[in-house]
Structure 1
Amino acid sequence: MDEKQLSIDIVGLAGAYSYALDCIEAELVNITNKHGKRVAYISVCMAKYWNVENDALQDLAICALLHDNALTQYITEEVKKNPGIDIGEGFLNEKANLHCIYGENNIAKIPFKTNVSNVILYHHEHADGKGPFKKAWQEVPLFARIIHLADVIDAIANNIKCRQEKWDKCCEFLVKQKGLLFDDECVEAFFEMISKETFVSLEDGSFESKLWEIVPRKKQMFDWNTCKNIADFFANIVDYKSPFTSRHSIGVAEKAAQFAKYIGYDVLDIEKMYLAGALHDIGKMAVGNEILEKPDKLTDEEFDKMKNHAGYTYLILSQVDGFEDIRDWAALHHEKLNGKGYPFGKTADELNEQERIMACVDIYQALTEERPYKKGMSHEKTCDILDEMAEKGFVDADISRKMRDCFH
């Protein structure tokens, strides 16, 4: 593929995905939405204490937004090894080292500008050396120590129901844990840089605009290999949500790019199709696994909840600057030409070629891939089904016909 650069708001994309990660945490340990963004805001405010700025500040924000990027992955891995295991807060604490190891490996796909080695790996270490890896605070990178304090203090604040008590109780906790859970320097930075007013603003959401003032979201140019790494990083987060759909997002991304190349798209549009395919099911992070993994026919109520995932994809990707094309190609993959699809019920006149391609590719990938409750269909049988759907006015007949040749 020719070397052309794609412009991506990488900080905005990390922020958008932090919402998806929050949905997983909410399922497991009752963490409220915007946890990742609050951790990022506390972290970048604290970082001013050390005069962290520019590229380093942006990298800290991305690490904070994605500090729990491996949550779905390590839970899935452990469930495979121990069917029937009770996944809860105790399990998460006990297995913190696994999620840190997976998270550190995953984050290597993100194009940081500074050295963030071991930041995710050690973000649960205790100052006194009693954390998952038994590292004393002097052995832990500053950014890991900052994120650790911000993560814990936000979780504690989340569990204090009385708004008036949050600040005082969190301050008491920090003082008590100084030198134990948190190092003296980080506790001092928190008190120096975070006021009661700042802390209270975390409750009403007004902090988010301040976060983006501190960490400007500038679009950056990335080569294809870097774009693919970014796309695969985020796709894997989604695919690990459920072993039932393992590799589905990556499969859709690969086939969307393959088909786009087959019909003559230029390099940048092929890359954008790959990204859209990788991100198309991000909204499934907001849908419970009891629905995602139900092998039987969904009830009407369950299907309505499942349908919400496409709308969530649209909302999540709307947070990324300059991502309108990719957002639409990704989120409209369940629309039908006859207007009976979702989330918006768009008609043929309102659906462009890329959106029509994504709808067909998603169906093709879902039918051909093997899942725990079904064998994958053959290429011919899948194409026959797509042709039947085209006859009913669901999908584009021209695209369906070309897929028979492209994927044979």
Structure 2
Amino acid sequence: MTTGPANSALSADLRYVIYALSDALDLVGIDDLAHGKRVGIMAAECARWQGLDPEEVLFLFDFGLLHDIGVSSTVTHGHLVSEFDWESSQLHCETGYLLLRDFAPLADMALPVRFHHTHWDALLAQGVDAQVARRANQIYLVDRVDALAAPHYADGSLLMQTERIRTEIAARAGTYFSPELVTLFLETSRSESFWLNLEPRSIQSYLNDMRARGRTQRVTLAELKQLATIFSRIVDAKSPFTAEHSLGVARLARFFGERLGVPPARCDQLEIAGLLHDIGKLRVPDEILDKPAKLDERERKMMNAHSFETYQILRLIPGFEEIALWAAYHHEQPGGDGYPFRIDGGRLCLEARILRVADIFQAMAQDRPYRAGLPADAVRSFMEEMRSQGRVDGEVLAVALADMPAAMAAARPGVAAH
């Protein structure tokens, strides 16, 4: 068997993790991959104009990047960018709050996320803490600015629409938005530069500048696992077909790794790779993920791009270089016929081969809306057929076949092996 060196305990800079994972959230836009970034930029520009301290500017920028952490559905995202307000707008806010409230490094964002679609007059009536209310309403305001601007990014007509957008925001002062924040926005957005910052090239430059200004904040292995779990829940919530899939893959991958002698530090990395392996699926439209019938060629091409999207997100986090590759390779096959890189099996390290087997094994054992999870004997038969076709690694699969009760329990706790 082949593994890499036994690395010391993994850690990472939270700033790089935030920026990389904001890319994942923006994937839900499918054709518009910068909503969160534009919201963060506008919030930071308003805060700078007001003269807030650099830490608060940075907080509002990061909050803008992650404010839609409760959104995984392309349908929900469609409402966000096409309607000013809608009946179910609070659902993703509550989801985001529940995801963040127990994650200490980002817990200060939890309540602002909860209230970032709550009208200003309602915030006052509910007696929401003043700082929470102001932060939430600042993001709500610029979030709605981006919704009004969204139809005009592609054709370059935004500068012709800015006065109309400013007028629509001003009309909602005192109801939707704090009058003070509306005034601040109107002052800040008078300049063309405010709007030109929202163009793709300017966005990347802005991100680079903010990354350089932010202080390094190391997160521990336990915190990285917790954050990876948060994002696995976002991915798994995207479709009833994938509920808890990422968690099961992570457990099963660790089980295989330990049985195959992978060092503990690399098992930790393997577990994180399992949690995040499908993060690229956030860009797959809901109707494709939820389709119970066979995908057509166009749909299959869109689905097959998800593991490359996973790689593009995770590779940007220093320290995640191997995790990114393992996660990206989970659809590569021993014979080189997998996707998206078509890598020959001889070049696949053990950890990548483990994720491949864990991904398929867990999917077979898991309940789906259109079928119950397969029993152990059916999973065994299916996986053995995959091995005979050269589509999964025999060394890894042998671990599962040698102890099916333990493998089934790792894939899906509570399932009886029979």
In the alignment, structure 1 residue 172 sits paired with structure 2 residue 167: yes
Aligned to 2:235, which of 235, 238, 242?
238
Q: Indicate if the aligned counterparts of 2:120 and 2:174 stay in contact, CA closer than 8 A.
A: yes
CA–CA distance in 2 between the matches of 1:304 and 1:403? Answer: 31
Q: Indicate if the aligned counterparts of 1:295 and 1:373 stay in contact, CA closer than 8 A.
A: yes
Change in 2 beyond 3 A, CA 1:88/1:193:
closer
Q: Indicate if the aligned counterparts of 1:7 and 1:222 stay in contact, CA closer than 8 A.
A: yes
Change in 2 beyond 3 A, CA 1:92/1:229:
farther
CA–CA distance in 2 between the matches of 1:268 and 1:108? Answer: 28
What residue number does 1:97 align with?
90
What residue number does 2:299 align with?
302
1:108-187 counterparts in 2 under 5 A? 108-112=101-105, 115-129=108-122, 138=130, 140-160=132-152, 162-187=157-182
Shift of 1:400: 0.9
Give the AA of the match of 1:275. I
CA–CA distance in 1 between the matches of 2:59 and 2:399? Answer: 43
Change in 2 beyond 3 A, CA 1:263/1:369:
same
Q: Indicate if the aligned counterparts of 1:59 and 1:112 stay in contact, CA closer than 8 A.
A: no
CA–CA distance in 2 between the matches of 1:135 and 1:74? Answer: 33
CA–CA distance in 2 between the matches of 1:166 and 1:317? Answer: 36
Give the AA of the match of 1:279. L
Moved more, 256-265 or 14-23: 14-23
Runs of at least 5 residues in structure 1 that lack an aligned partner in the other structure: 77-85
CA–CA distance in 2 between the matches of 1:110 and 1:74? Answer: 25
Shift of 1:163: 2.6
What residue number does 2:10 align with?
6
Q: Indicate if the aligned counterparts of 1:8 and 1:222 stay in contact, CA closer than 8 A.
A: yes
Q: Indicate if the aligned counterparts of 2:100 and 2:110 stay in contact, CA closer than 8 A.
A: no
The C-alpha deviation readout for 1:337-369, integer Å capped at 9, x for no partner, is 111000010001221111111101101101111
Give the AA of the match of 2:399. K
CA–CA distance in 2 between the matches of 1:215 and 1:166? Answer: 30
Give the AA of the match of 1:145. N
Give the AA of the match of 1:43. A
CA–CA distance in 1 between the matches of 2:107 and 2:292? Answer: 45
Aligned to 2:206, which of 190, 201, 210?
210
Shift of 1:63: 2.4
Shift of 1:258: 2.4
Shift of 1:328: 0.9
The C-alpha deviation readout for 1:208-251, integer Å capped at 9, x for no partner, is 22133124466643334322210110001100110111111111
Shift of 1:173: 2.8
The C-alpha deviation readout for 1:116-138, integer Å capped at 9, x for no partner, is 3521111112233389x866895
CA–CA distance in 2 between the matches of 1:163 and 1:87? Answer: 18
Alignment: residue pair count = 390
The C-alpha deviation readout for 1:306-362, integer Å capped at 9, x for no partner, is 212122222232333332211111111000111100001000122111111110110
Percent of aligned positions that are identical? 32
CA–CA distance in 2 between the matches of 1:136 and 1:111? Answer: 21
Give the AA of the match of 1:206. S
Runs of at least 5 residues in structure 2 that lack an aligned partner in the other structure: 1-7, 408-418
User: What's the RMSD between the two structures over aligned residues?
Assistant: 3.1
Change in 2 beyond 3 A, CA 1:163/1:292:
same
Moved more, 345-354 or 231-240: 345-354
SS at match of 1:261: helix
Change in 2 beyond 3 A, CA 1:92/1:386:
farther
